[in-house]
């Protein structure tokens, strides 16, 4: 056993490749087997459709298991909260995305339930700061 889940461990056998096959070998084997077992080429064989589905699922599983993991989400700084005795609160969060620092400040009046949201964008290369409208978010 290769340490893979049971279905995934059977996939190299179903496609006819080694456990250590690279992406090009897997792709070639999938195309070869798909042409042989395609339901349109085997209309009189009901098991061909099941075999074709298994081949397609194996190809998807093997190619997905060999892809690079997704890149991490953008760096996010913690939000800081400052409560005032007047019944208001303020929270600020900052995110750096594509060379720009986006700061969101939310001020809440706890008594009336109103909220004021301000979003600014600072270009880290030029240092210019601009206020964003809600439709630019």
* pLDDT tens readout for residues 30-70: 999 999 999 999 889 888 888 898 898 888 888 876 666 66
Angle of the 6-15 helix axis to the 23-37 helix axis, nearest 10: 70
Q: Which helix (H) or strand (E) holds 96?
A: strand 88-97
pTM for the complete prediction? 0.44
CA distances from 94 to 71, 82, 127 (A): 20, 15, 15
63 vs 5, more confident: 63
- Please give the backbone phi and psi of residue 96, each rounded to the nearest 5 degrees, phi first: -105, 120
Rg of the chain taking only CA atoms, in angstroms: 27
């Amino acid at each position: 056993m290769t340490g893979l889940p049971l279905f995934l461990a059977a996939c190299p056998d179903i496609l006819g490749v080694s456990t250590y096959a690279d992406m090009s070998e897997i792709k070639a084997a999938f195309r070869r087997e798909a042409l042989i077992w395609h339901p349109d080429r085997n209309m009189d064989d009901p098991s061909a459709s099941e075999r074709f589905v298994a081949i397609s699922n194996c190809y998807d599983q093997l190619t997905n298991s060999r892809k690079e993991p997704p890149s991490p989400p953008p760096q996010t700084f913690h939000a800081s909260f400052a409560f005032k005795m007047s019944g208001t609160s303020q929270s600020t969060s900052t995110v750096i995305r594509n060379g720009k620092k986006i700061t969101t400040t939310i001020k809440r009046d706890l008594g009336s339930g109103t909220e004021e949201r301000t979003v600014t964008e600072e270009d880290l290369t030029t240092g210019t700061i601009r206020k964003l409208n809600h439709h630019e978010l």
